[in-house]
């Protein structure tokens, strides 16, 4: 089974999203920043762990990390990770866009049904008028 990070970013919690600020845009921006801060904190801890373990075992010096250049496989893996990362960071915006599309589709359908009901009403009036 292949996991698609962009599709997974669309997963929603049940219920209404809480709001903390007067402006919805501020809430969205804060959610993005908090997701980014969480990702950065986890990454920082993992890098710190690796550096300390490697240094303690005498396997690597910090200078080697600073001078590292990834090969093509490592660069590809990093690119995939970046896609997943961006999808997670911007999931709030993606969900807003999906909700907007769903609302627009619902409005369009309601408008079409209204037209249909109006047409049926007009046909009924015409039928009654002709009898």
pTM value is: 0.45
Q: Sign of the CA dihedral 8, 9, 13, 15?
A: negative
* Domain presence at residue 77: yes
Q: Six-digit token pair at 43? A: 């990454």
* Domain presence at residue 7: no
The pLDDT tens digits of the residues spanning 27-77 come to 988 988 898 899 999 999 999 999 999 999 999 888 888 899 999 999 999
pLDDT at position 106: 84
Per the document, the length of the chain is 131
The number of distinct structural domains making up the chain is: 2
Q: What is the mean pLDDT of residues 17-22?
A: 82
Identify whether residues 29 and 57 lie together within a single domain: yes
* Domain presence at residue 3: no
- Write a three-state SS string for 15-83: CCCCCCCCCHHHHHHHHHHHHHHHHHHHHHHHHHHHHHHHHHCCCCCHHHHHCCCCCHHHHHHHHHHHH
The pLDDT tens digits of the residues spanning 66-122 come to 899 999 999 999 999 999 988 887 887 888 888 888 888 888 888 887 766 667 667
Identify whether residues 57 and 82 lie together within a single domain: no
Identify whether residues 76 and 64 lie together within a single domain: no
* Domain presence at residue 2: no
> 59 lies in which domain range?
22-68
């Amino acid at each position: 089974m292949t996991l698609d990070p962009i599709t997974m970013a669309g997963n929603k919690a049940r219920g209404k999203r809480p709001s903390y600020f007067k402006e919805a845009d501020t809430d969205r921006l804060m959610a993005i920043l908090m997701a980014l801060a969480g990702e950065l904190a986890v990454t920082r801890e993992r890098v710190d762990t690796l550096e300390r373990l490697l240094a303690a075992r005498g396997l690597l010096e910090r200078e080697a990390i600073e001078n590292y250049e990834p090969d093509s496989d490592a660069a590809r893996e990093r690119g995939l990770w970046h896609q997943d990362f961006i999808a997670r960071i911007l999931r709030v915006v993606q969900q807003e866009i999906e909700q907007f599309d769903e609302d627009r589709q619902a409005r369009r359908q309601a408008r079409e049904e209204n037209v249909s009901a109006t047409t049926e009403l007009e046909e009924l009036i015409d039928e009654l008028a002709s009898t």
